[in-house]
Amino acid sequence: METITWHDFEKVELRVGTILEASDFPEARKPAFKVKVDFGPHGIKWSSAQITKHYTKEQLIGRQIVGVVNFPKKQIATFMSEFLVTGFADENGDIVLTAIEHPVPNGSKLI
């Protein structure tokens, strides 16, 4: 594992946002949802998330998540992803979302 400096870490914009919409993404190679997230002053952004094993679309609406909002956009099949959804792989390799224990304002930065 490479060591980074505090300055390097500060460059990563890990921000909280609330999921407004979740829809199927049948064109993706691996099962995924498209999610629309409100990052407050950083805008509303879309991403693809391979989180179909642990979550339904209905469970995602209103949930706060953590996203990396300063990566360049990435083409995924027919869709342009605008941020990276963060999470951890469980024992089967399925993604569990990074959790927010108490609500915080959309756009808050991880510190």
Residue 83 sits in a domain whose CATH number is 2.40.50.140
Q: What is the pLDDT of residue 19?
A: 98
In terms of residue numbers, what domain contains 49?
6-97
CA distance 103 to 110: 13
Q: What is the pLDDT of residue 51?
A: 97
Residue ranges for the chain with pLDDT beneath 70:
none
pTM metric for this prediction: 0.94
Residue 21 counted as domain residue: yes
Residues 108/15, Cβ–Cβ less than 8 Å: yes
Residue 103 counted as domain residue: no
Q: What is the pLDDT of residue 67?
A: 98
Q: What is the pLDDT of residue 45?
A: 98
Q: What is the pLDDT of residue 25?
A: 96
Residue 38 counted as domain residue: yes
Residue 67 counted as domain residue: yes
Count of domains in the chain?
Answer: 1
